[in-house]
Chains A and B, each alone.
Chain A
Amino acid sequence: MDNILVLTHVDESGALSRASLESVAAGVELSAAIGATLAVGVVAAELSADIPAQLAGLNARVLAATAAELAEPRFASDAAACEALCRHASATIVLAPGSSRFTRVLPAVAHRLGGVTDTHITALTGGTQVEATRWYYRQRVEAVITRTARPWFLLLDAGTRTPYAAKGTAPAIEAVALAMPALRTQVLGIKAPKQDEQTIRPDAKLLFVAGAGWTKKQADGQVHAAEAEQCILGFLKVADSSLGSSKSLVDQSGENQAVLKFMSHLNQIGQTGATPRHAKGLSTCCHGEEPHVVGWRFVNERRAINLDANCGWARGKADVVYIADAFAVMQRVNALLSEKK
């Protein structure tokens, strides 16, 4: 029989992260499907009252590794905590959120335990065997995999299931002893754009993508970078959307062309960029080439505005393509949305 351990961690508020609670939900489902035992492991500096409350009603052992050194994510300290939890639970299957914190460390932990890891799991089923779905070649080939090797660590992509919903009594939490190794790395903090310059919003319903067309010469033979900036930032503000970019547009900032200052490689969507999850996506001034569009794998409804009826979006990559000038359209969209607000 398998022993499933769901590893979780807190977010900056001290409560378990949403992605952690999604993994807990996955653990509940999978343990029922394959008749495995279930435990939840918590990695945190200290146990806030939120944590037992968030896990209320869970029919599972809850273990916690706590230490001041776990206040920030760091390879050496997180690895020690996760390793201790896995050993304590005699875990044969470990489920965990594919957060930056856990992706940095869990493949190494699996290796310490003689196990194996698969990441970016988008779906999980259990019958006679556990089967996990993941993508290869940057979201271009989808595969369903299974393994008999144990312990098997599966890192689940965030946003792929409903988080565990607490109900009933809060569980007791068992402390797990932890030997902290000497630490050579000190976490200095987080570098983030100022609140009003924050353009990447993973929880937004809508992804707005800007392509290189925004900084190209327009019908009048001129570049309109300032207007482009106004259109794009204006939209982000009134639509509360997240901002993505094509590679061509963010590469320009390294090449001293007309640039949009608020864009960086972190905004890049695609083969060598991000693959965010949003319900809707609106592409503007972007050609929709395959290396870009693979980053839209998890964007459900897609619309594009492009001057070129032969752009990639028009060839089966978007649901609707408006053949139009994005400057003109977006100015009006912004006006309509600000009226509504």
Chain B
Amino acid sequence: MANVFHIVVCSGIVPDPLQTLEPAPGPTLKNEMMLPAVLDPWAASALYEGAALAAKHAGSKLWLLSLGPKAKLQQVMMTVGQKVPFEFVAVDGPLGGFTDATSTAAALAEAIAAIPGLDRTKLLLFGGWESASRGAGVTLQVAGELLGISDQFQGVDEIKVADDGSFEVLERIEGGRHQQSRCQGTPAVLGWATGNLPEPRNSPQVGMANMRGIMPALQKAKSVKLDANSLTYASVSLPKQQRETRLVRDLSPDEIAREIVQWIAE
């Protein structure tokens, strides 16, 4: 029998990593709404892997679910929408890493439960194993719990589906190794690391097709307030960035090598 997957990729949006960040009271980031944003990188791997999986299994569907301020989501979708075909689901909510992961998870789980036509027995809940903002690895896991999914994998670099609908997963573990597991089948949660696929090139055709769904999804987006779950910040600060760099310009390779060897031994 053919395997059909209903893949929901959860991804936040984060400031472009090349931007300078500065915390501001709230806490928040200074000029957060002005900073150019990108799809959260590890969740972006999940999106590309999800799209490849959906393309391989006829009849499968792929949704991209993102929580953020509508205006910002729209900006990011202009580029992300050109990468792979998906149906967009938006939740209008606050930006940033300082919100509480458990509340974010609840908002995402509620949005997933409300997706029309989603068959939860076929569900693969995808996302990044950690975000580039809060970096907690909590959101996807709690969303999985709320949806009653008992098989979860984190730090995933590969999924291989067998004919019987079971699949093998490689998860990152300590020391540059992977744990290999076989799951009987959907539903499951997969928090992705890098995966194996390069970023797809922009395709104007894919962009046009996605755009038809993206604008209505943004209009329909439900607004949520995220409860802090008693999380409070005693301080938020930037680390001391500058080191006093000693530039060594006129030593020969031999002299440099000796200096390095001595430093290693110290």
> Would you call B234 and A145 a contact (CB within 8 A)?
yes
**Which of chain A's residues 123-137 have a Cβ closer than 8 Å to chain B?**
131, 135-137
Which single residue of chain B is at the shortest CB-CB distance from A73? Answer: B179
Contact size range, A? 35 or more
> Would you call A141 and B23 a contact (CB within 8 A)?
yes
A318-B243, A322-B248 as given contacts; A188 in contact with B234, CB under 8 Å: no
The answer for the CA separation of A105 and B150 in the assembled complex, in Å, is 11
> Would you call B234 and A144 a contact (CB within 8 A)?
yes
> Would you call B253 and A117 a contact (CB within 8 A)?
no
* A136 / chain B contacts, CB cutoff of 8 Å: 97-98, 133-135, 236
Give per-residue flags for B29-63: 1 if the beta carbon is below 8 A from chain A beta carbons, else 0: 10000000000011000000000000000000000
> Would you call B141 and A107 a contact (CB within 8 A)?
yes
A117-B101, A321-B248 as given contacts; A74 in contact with B264, CB under 8 Å: no
B212 at the interface (CB under 8 A from A): no
The answer for the CA separation of A259 and B146 in the assembled complex, in Å, is 43
Contact size range, B? 35 or more
A1 at the interface (CB under 8 A from B): no
Which single residue of chain B is at the shortest CB-CB distance from A19? Answer: B174
Question: Which of A104, A146, A184, A328 lies in contact with B234, CB distance below 8 A?
Answer: A146
Question: Which of A105, A239, A251, A336 lies in contact with B257, CB distance below 8 A?
Answer: A336
Which single residue of chain B is at the shortest CB-CB distance from A132? Answer: B234
A254 at the interface (CB under 8 A from B): yes
* B41 / chain A contacts, CB cutoff of 8 Å: 271-272
Which single residue of chain A is at the shortest CB-CB distance from B185? Answer: A184
B245 at the interface (CB under 8 A from A): yes
User: A48: shortest Cβ distance to chain B, in Å?
Assistant: 20
> Would you call A280 and B135 a contact (CB within 8 A)?
no
The answer for the CA separation of A58 and B167 in the assembled complex, in Å, is 43
* A315 / chain B contacts, CB cutoff of 8 Å: 245
Question: Which of A99, A142, A145, A202 lies in contact with B232, CB distance below 8 A?
Answer: A145
> Would you call B172 and A100 a contact (CB within 8 A)?
yes
Question: Which of A100, A280, A316 lies in contact with B263, CB distance below 8 A?
Answer: A280
> Would you call A144 and B233 a contact (CB within 8 A)?
yes
A119 at the interface (CB under 8 A from B): yes
> Would you call A319 and B97 a contact (CB within 8 A)?
no
* A272 / chain B contacts, CB cutoff of 8 Å: 17, 41-42, 132, 194
Question: Which of A143, A149, A309 lies in contact with B229, CB distance below 8 A?
Answer: A149
A164 at the interface (CB under 8 A from B): no
* A202 / chain B contacts, CB cutoff of 8 Å: 174-175
Interface majority SS on A: helix, strand, loop or mixed? mixed
> Would you call B151 and A184 a contact (CB within 8 A)?
yes
> Would you call B23 and A147 a contact (CB within 8 A)?
no
Which single residue of chain A is at the shortest CB-CB distance from B231? Answer: A147
Interface segment out of the listed A32-40, A87-95, A193-201: A193-201
> Would you call A309 and B249 a contact (CB within 8 A)?
yes
User: A253: shortest Cβ distance to chain B, in Å?
Assistant: 10
A255-B198, A316-B241 as given contacts; A137 in contact with B133, CB under 8 Å: yes
The answer for the CA separation of A316 and B240 in the assembled complex, in Å, is 10
> Would you call A324 and B253 a contact (CB within 8 A)?
yes
The answer for the CA separation of A133 and B97 in the assembled complex, in Å, is 15
Taking each of B14, B29, B137, which has the highest tally of chain A beta carbons within 10 Å of its own beta carbon?
B137
Which single residue of chain B is at the shortest CB-CB distance from A120? Answer: B135
Question: Which of B132, B144, B172, B175 lies in contact with A137, CB distance below 8 A?
Answer: B132
The answer for the CA separation of A39 and B168 in the assembled complex, in Å, is 37
User: 3 nearest interchain CB pairs?
Assistant: A200-B176, A332-B257, A316-B242
26 A-B contacts (beta carbon < 8 Å): A100-B155, A107-B136, A117-B136, A119-B135, A136-B98, A136-B135, A137-B29, A141-B23, A145-B234, A146-B231, A147-B229, A188-B181, A188-B182, A190-B179, A191-B177, A193-B177, A198-B176, A202-B175, A254-B198, A265-B157, A294-B17, A314-B245, A319-B243, A324-B248, A329-B253, A329-B260
